[in-house]
Amino acid sequence: FWGDAGLVDSTARREFFAQCKKAGVVGLKLDFFTGETQDITQWQEAALKDAAKLQLMLDFHGTYKPAGQEYTWPNEMTREGIRGLEYGTDNTVWSTHNTIVPFTRFLAGHADYTPFSLRSDVAKGTTLAHQVASVALFTSPLMVLGAFPDSLLKSPVKDIIKVIPTIWDETIVLPPSEIGEIAVYARRSGKVWVVSVLNSATAKNVTVNLSFLGAGSWHASEMKESGVTNIVTVSKANYTSGSQVNLTLPAGGGYLARFDQ
């Protein structure tokens, strides 16, 4: 709580950052900014500058969407400014919401959405495959997950999540993406491609064209729907740029595949 911690004052903020650095802290999550006033935007920029001098990373939660700050201050790892899973128990239709924000809010930049929940009252209307795929499709260099650490470590999908990159060199929006209906992304990190699919509240049969892959054969690890909401199937296959993946997606379903050579 940046205000409650007495960090409004610049001297107090610098002293606090210095104490964190001395204690071995590498980053801070600052929360509960109450608006987008000039005072708050100036405070955040000053905080990024002070933190950068100490090589501290910052995550601004409970604040407005990004406006390019990370290009001047790359120690800004992410910021909220999005309706994310902390509102999971309200009446939001999350399957539809999650097929809208990739084409709206995420155009502004990274977002601390806190994706992935194993709680049925939070992830309602979506499958486990949808929740996992959202980790790859939503952009946040610091990916803060919405699951309890103990629950995540016991989850059968933990090894899938562990190898999802958080920094991307290239993103391609693939057919049959449609705002509010389905989001299909191919994202490259180094030499690895990841395809993630999020479906809305209507079941669909879709075909994903893999023409973005380079030459040769690609080894894929795929996570698909099992027919049971909280269970996924994991399999391996080989594909080329001439291949297609045919998917049967339930309402709120998802798909994830990692391709490498």
- Give me the active site residues, please: 31, 86
Closest CA to 99 of 186, 201, 21: 201
Written as one letter, the residue type at 153 is L
CB 101 within 8 A of CB 165: no
Cβ pair 45, 13 in contact under 8 A: no
Tokens of 111: 């977002």
Query: Who contacts 80 (Cβ-Cβ below 8 Å, separation ≥6)?
Result: 60, 61, 62, 63, 111, 112, 113
Report the 10 Å Cβ neighbour count for 228.
Answer: 11
What the block records as the tokens of 188 is 């490259």
